[in-house]
Amino acid sequence: MREKLERQLIKTHTIKDGEDIAGIVSKYCRGMVHSGDVIVVSESVVAISQGRAIPEERIGIGLLARVLWRFVTRVPYGVGLRSPATMQCAINECGVARILVAAIASALTKPFGKKGYFYRVAGPQAALIDAAHTSPVEPYTSCVIMGPRNPNMVAEVIRRRTGVDAAIMDINDIGGSWVIGKTSGVNASVLEEIMKDNPMGQGNELTPICVVRDAADKSG
């Protein structure tokens, strides 16, 4: 982590479907940000504000999802698509054809020790799906949370509202840190390194916003 770097966590209310996420960020960051700062926002709350937290009981699970989820490899950082509900959401999001091609690609490459082809073919939206019962925050404990739509645009709207650069990030507790949407002044690789210890937390901290000082790419 770079010298003189500051990370300020911002606690919010429980964000709900239909709320203006850029307005929320602007409200909570008012008077706290300065030129050169970067506002990091959790991808989950962006998705929730967009109505992409789906109660598990409302997901109609088809035959294809009931078959394919069993072939998803167990991973230490979460359920991912290894459940009928999340696999069905991936099918709904990406389309039957793309998920079938992704499954075939995975099946053909896995015997040779090559991993990750399913998500390479299915696309980033499949990888961003969070399974039900992984969020401890009510009322989303029983929801599948999809990845946010148009994260670059969301980041840009936040920049316009706050006057500083912004990034939407997917971060976990075992070193996974990905910028999935950003404004032009953000150096993604630097920010991912800064945030890889997940200071925003994975539990019910309700700190989905983090102001990072001295993390902007001054070269633009």
Domain covering 6-51+147-213 assigned CATH 3.40.50.670 in the classification: no
Encode the chain (220 residues) as per-residue pLDDT tens digits: 445 588 999 999 999 999 999 999 999 999 999 999 999 999 999 999 999 999 999 999 999 999 999 988 776 666 788 899 999 999 999 999 999 999 999 999 988 888 888 989 999 899 899 999 888 899 999 999 999 999 999 999 999 999 999 999 999 877 789 999 999 999 999 999 999 999 998 778 899 999 999 755 544 4
Rounded Cα–Cα distance for residues 165 and 36 (Å): 8
Each domain of the chain, given as residue ranges in start order, spans 6-51+147-213, 53-145
Kindly state the tokens that stand for 217. 């790419």
Q: Determine the pLDDT at residue 39.
A: 98
**Alpha carbons within 13 A on the beta-carbon side of 148:** 26
∠ CA 135-139-142, nearest 5°, is 55
Quote the pTM value.
0.89
List the one residue out of 25, 61, 48, 71 whose CA is nearest residue 149.
48
